[in-house]
Amino acid sequence: MIEETTTMNTKHHQPAGARVGIPPRQMDFRMDATKRYFYDDNATATLFFAMLSSWFPPGERFFMDSVRNFRDIVKDARLKDQVSGFMGQEAIHGREHDKLNELLEQSGIDLSFPVAAVKLGLGVLDHLPKSTQIAATTFMEHFTALLAEELLENPQFAEKADPEMIKLWQWHAFEELEHKAVAYDVYELVGNSRIERTAAAAAVVVTLVPAVFMSWAWLVAREGKATDIKDIGKGLNLLFGRQGFVTGVLPKLPLFLAKRFHPAQHDTTALEAKWAKAMFGDDGLLNKYFKNRSSLMEAAVH
């Protein structure tokens, strides 16, 4: 009985997300100005990732809002804690990418058009029924989880990236895997219509994919690289070539449309455990950026 009470008290003192393996890690990546083309010294590929970074803060807000719309219907205690963890992690992701985006702007990469483009696309999705909005979020979370897995499993990605810049992206990828099923589990309470999921995925593709390529092309042109065939060819190969970063992700996207799809069907727990130790273990690579590490650990032992 004493042991059981101690366990209950431990869980009570932990932040809600930490109780279910989705802790709100307060990170503070203090990056100094890095080299302009931080991915393999290639403008085209670097600008693709700069565009992604500019999209994350408004995208994370859309994800949180779509889940928040149905937070009141969540009655299961574990899922409530998972939703809290999801909200906390996504908010911190947005904040840290805002800081990165400011650094990119200071280096001369103008992100105004990509930000306007994603806000326009998400604004269209905002006019969909709320259940379709969360269905759209589950599709985008599926995509980001696939990107995250590729980033963490592909050693060439880290080798080609700026050694300081890559740390933020690895942390973000790791936490995307930690909470990859939360929005979907909330959507299942809403009804999880396969037809609606398909419609939502189509809406995302129609509204955001053109915005991706227009934003990317705008950045490349603004950088003065629109006629640099060598740079563009190398960048496209890095991303969409046979061993490209995005190439391995695209064939897995249609899994979302399967009748009995669930994000947890693709088990990444071993990968998460590996990176949790590497980043946040006793000698973790990211401990110096992890501002509430001690408080999370203290909560776990009291």
Which among 109, 119, 144, 117 is positioned nearest to 214, based on CA atoms? 117
d(CA 243, CA 40): 15
d(Cα 221, Cα 227) in Å, to the nearest integer? Answer: 8
Residue 4 has a pLDDT of 42
Distance (Å, whole) CA 38 – CA 158: 11
Tokens 């994000």 found at: 263
Give tens-digit pLDDT for 45-95: 999 999 999 999 999 999 999 999 999 999 999 999 999 999 999 999 999
Say which residue, 163 or 208, is predicted with more confidence.
Answer: 208
Among 148-157, 200-209, 270-279, 293-302, the least confident range:
293-302
What is the rounded CA–CA span in Å between residue 218 and residue 210? Answer: 12
State the pTM of this model. Answer: 0.92
The pLDDT of residue 261 is above 90: yes
Q: In 23-47, which positions are buried (b, 16+ CB within 10 angstroms) versus exposed (e)?
A: bbbbbebebeebeebbbbebbbbbb
Which pLDDT band holds residue 298 (cuts at 50, 70, 90)? low
Mean pLDDT confidence for 235-253: 93
Burial class (CB in 10 A: 0-12, 13-18, 19+), 112: exposed
Q: Is the pLDDT of residue 11 over 70?
A: no
Task: Tell me the residue type at 89.
Answer: Q
Question: Which range is least confidently modeled, 33-37, 70-74, 125-129?
Answer: 33-37
Residue 10: per-residue pLDDT: 46
* Pick from 59, 61, 73, 217: nearest CA to 131: 73
Count the Cβ atoms, other than its own, within 10 Å of residue 139. 22
Contact 292, 26 (CB under 8 A): yes
Quick one: fold of 38-292?
Ribonucleotide Reductase, subunit A (1.10.620)
Higher pLDDT pick, 212 / 33: 212
Tell me the pLDDT band of 7, cut-offs 50, 70 and 90.
very low
pLDDT at 8 over 60: no
For the purposes of burial, counting CB atoms within 10 Å of the CB of 266, is it exposed (0-12), middle (13-18) or buried (19 or more)? middle
